[in-house]
Chains A and B, each alone.
Chain A
Amino acid sequence: MSAETAHRSEPLSAAELAARYGLRPSSARPPLATYVRKLWQRRHFIVAFATSRTVSQYSGARLGQLWQVLTPLLNAAVYYLLFGVLLGTRRNIDNFTAFLVTGVFLFTFSQRSVTAGARAISGNLRLIRALHFPRAALPISSTLVELQQMLISVCVLGLIVLLTGEPLTWRWLLVIPALTLQTLFNLGISLAIARVGAKIPDITQLLPFVTRTWLYMSGVFFSIYDRVPAGPIREAMLANPAAVYIELTRGLLLEGHYVPSHTWVLGVAWALVTLVGGFLFFWAAEERYGRG
């Protein structure tokens, strides 16, 4: 029987022939473990791609990468003028400058990660159609770009907070785990939105409105405790991930800014759930990203 099937004149279906010689579908999605391993093998590419992105982003500007420091500073100045001076949301908040700048910097980190994630696949189609690598490398890379920017912003933030008269305490060290959690959350949401953005490019038009709503919901320039009456709405606003990470960091940097301890639990939960969920969601469409 086997001799007969091996004979050339007996036509085999393509799939049978492929199976017999151990050929595999060329655009199959690798199993999760293999995928993660492949991704780890490309870690150098991910870092190099992120660094190159950062460099090329500012290569057209005279001041070059100085803008990485100037942009957050200017952002803080604008928000201070608007909400501190003109609208006067500062009442009841002891150190409004530090409060505001912390909020703005941390929120910008998440917002930019989401926006960059939406374009991570759709903006790199040529690269995807030319080279083989786990596609998750792209949203990871775009999040790394924002992290590099954020690390500079955090140094600026620390300086501003010190200048407003806050003392330097050992709790400042806890900013590192807080920022790590936020980065993991950003990565998860970037992965998820990258898949959506690959399929529906219109998402980049919609995102500014979503992120702006998110900004107003997250207590960036006002205190949720002061402005929102106690109830489910306040709880929901406080539990939203941006507010969680902003409040965590404020509690660490600002003396006398009270943050309930369950905020840390929320921070860890958001990071893990979003990262795992986002990664699985992204991986499930891995073989389809080239189609555009």
Chain B
Amino acid sequence: MAETTEIAEITENQDVKSTAASDAPPTVIVDDLHIVYRVYGAGGTRGNAPAAFRRILKRQKSPNVREVHAIRGISFTAHRGESIGLIGRNGSGKSTLLRAIAGLLPPTRGAVYTDGQPTLLGVNAALMSDLTGERNIILGCLAMGMTPAQAREHYDDIVEFSGLGDFIDLPMRTYSSGMAQRLRFAIAAVKSHDVLMIDEALATGDAEFRRRSEERIRQLREEAGTVFLVSHSLDVVTQTCTRAIWLDKGIIKMDGDADTVVKAYTKAIQAAGARRANRRRRQPAASE
């Protein structure tokens, strides 16, 4: 009972940081998570037929199949009312982690426990490029579990939010990448969710669309219990998140208050940049 009043306070008071929110009930528990996925058609040794046959005889794995160990043992607990920014370099496992939380990528080891069905609001959500924007909107809404009536009801909002205008009648393959991302975001953002995960959505589109999407995300966060945000813009993370998790090569390098983590991360990037510059200056011959 006491906890429920706490939650209310936390959602009202945006300044309360993760330390306070950790008293709120957990919404996502990630326990020693490992994700390995297979990539086919990788590898330079493209294997001729006799080599492939020998491999089969010796029961070796094909070099064309590469296993990518994207997440290497991550554990953390997210609580109601928190908004957590995931930061890290490209390929550090941020998007993979989100997909695992959403239940879209099954854990290879470990487990993810969630409250209800987390929703991944990804700009990469595949829509069908041969179809018009109009058909894609309906398809996207239905895929999210709406009834046809609900989809039609939201249709105008989505078109207006995406700002595509007349382009809505054209196949999506004719869209610029910014337009396609806008449409995908507009479709995904139409619903409110318990656990909401946003993948790079803030970086899409022009300044005007960005302002509107940030506003929409704030709204969604108020309606949602917990928000995860992947963004390369550190300003966005410090502005909108209470907590930040810094991922590096599939493990958590740092987890804590958003300002602290972002500061440490920025420092590390600058240090790494300085080291590289130093190396280049000192031994130009050794670096070939």
Q: How many residues of B contact A (CB 8 A)?
A: 49
| Interface of B, helix, strand, loop or mixed by DSSP | mixed
Chain A proximity mask over B112-155: 1 for CB below 8 Å, otherwise 0: 11110111101011101011000100110011110110000000
Question: Is B263 engaged at the interface, CB distance under 8 Å to the other chain?
Answer: no
Q: Name which residue of chain B comes closest to A14, CB basis.
A: B31
| Interface of A, helix, strand, loop or mixed by DSSP | helix
Compute how far the CA of A42 lies from the CA of B143 in the bound complex, rounded to whole angstroms. Answer: 7
Compute how far the CA of A288 lies from the CA of B104 in the bound complex, rounded to whole angstroms. Answer: 9
Compute how far the CA of A55 lies from the CA of B32 in the bound complex, rounded to whole angstroms. Answer: 45
Are the C-beta atoms of A290 and B38 separated by less than 8 Å?
no
Among the 9-residue stretches B95-103, B175-183, B265-273, the one with 4 or more Cβ atoms under 8 Å from chain A is: B95-103
Q: Name which residue of chain B comes closest to A38, CB basis.
A: B145
Compute how far the CA of A24 lies from the CA of B144 in the bound complex, rounded to whole angstroms. Answer: 20
Compute how far the CA of A291 lies from the CA of B138 in the bound complex, rounded to whole angstroms. Answer: 27
Contact of A291 with B106 at beta-carbon distance under 8 Å, contacts A14-B31, A21-B25, A23-B29 already known: yes
Question: Is B20 engaged at the interface, CB distance under 8 Å to the other chain?
Answer: no
Chain B proximity mask over A95-136: 1 for CB below 8 Å, otherwise 0: 000000000000000000000000000001011111111000
Are the C-beta atoms of B107 and A14 separated by less than 8 Å?
no
Are the C-beta atoms of A27 and B106 separated by less than 8 Å?
yes
Are the C-beta atoms of A131 and B144 separated by less than 8 Å?
yes
Compute how far the CA of A129 lies from the CA of B125 in the bound complex, rounded to whole angstroms. Answer: 8
Are the C-beta atoms of A130 and B113 separated by less than 8 Å?
no
Q: Name which residue of chain B comes closest to A56, CB basis.
A: B130
Are the C-beta atoms of A44 and B142 separated by less than 8 Å?
yes
Are the C-beta atoms of A49 and B139 separated by less than 8 Å?
yes
Residues in chain B near residue A148, CB distance under 8 A = none
Most buried by B among A22, A26, A27: A26
A14, A23, A55, A129: the one contacting B104 at CB < 8 Å is A129
Most buried by B among A8, A60, A290: A290
- Whole-angstrom distance between the Cβ of A233 and the nearest chain B Cβ: 32
Are the C-beta atoms of B105 and A55 separated by less than 8 Å?
no
- Whole-angstrom distance between the Cβ of A201 and the nearest chain B Cβ: 6
Most buried by B among A15, A45, A126, A287: A45
Residues in chain B near residue A132, CB distance under 8 A = 102-104, 117, 119, 144-145
Question: Is A155 engaged at the interface, CB distance under 8 Å to the other chain?
Answer: no
A17, A41, A55, A124: the one contacting B145 at CB < 8 Å is A41
Compute how far the CA of A57 lies from the CA of B126 in the bound complex, rounded to whole angstroms. Answer: 17
Question: Is B111 engaged at the interface, CB distance under 8 Å to the other chain?
Answer: yes
Are the C-beta atoms of B122 and A130 separated by less than 8 Å?
yes
Contact of A126 with B124 at beta-carbon distance under 8 Å, contacts A17-B26, A52-B131, A287-B106 already known: yes
A13, A22, A53, A292: the one contacting B38 at CB < 8 Å is A292
Residues in chain B near residue A131, CB distance under 8 A = 104, 125, 143-144
Residues in chain B near residue A201, CB distance under 8 A = 40
- Taking A127-B143, A130-B104 as known contacts, 20 extra A-B pairs with beta carbons closer than 8 A to each other, sorted by chain A number, are A13-B31, A14-B30, A14-B31, A15-B31, A17-B77, A17-B113, A18-B26, A26-B103, A26-B113, A27-B106, A44-B147, A56-B128, A59-B130, A59-B131, A128-B104, A130-B126, A132-B144, A133-B145, A290-B99, A290-B106
Question: Which residues from chain A sit less than 8 Å from chain B, CB to CB?
Answer: 8, 13-15, 17-18, 21-28, 41-42, 44-45, 48-49, 52-53, 55-56, 59-60, 124, 126-133, 201, 287-288, 290-292
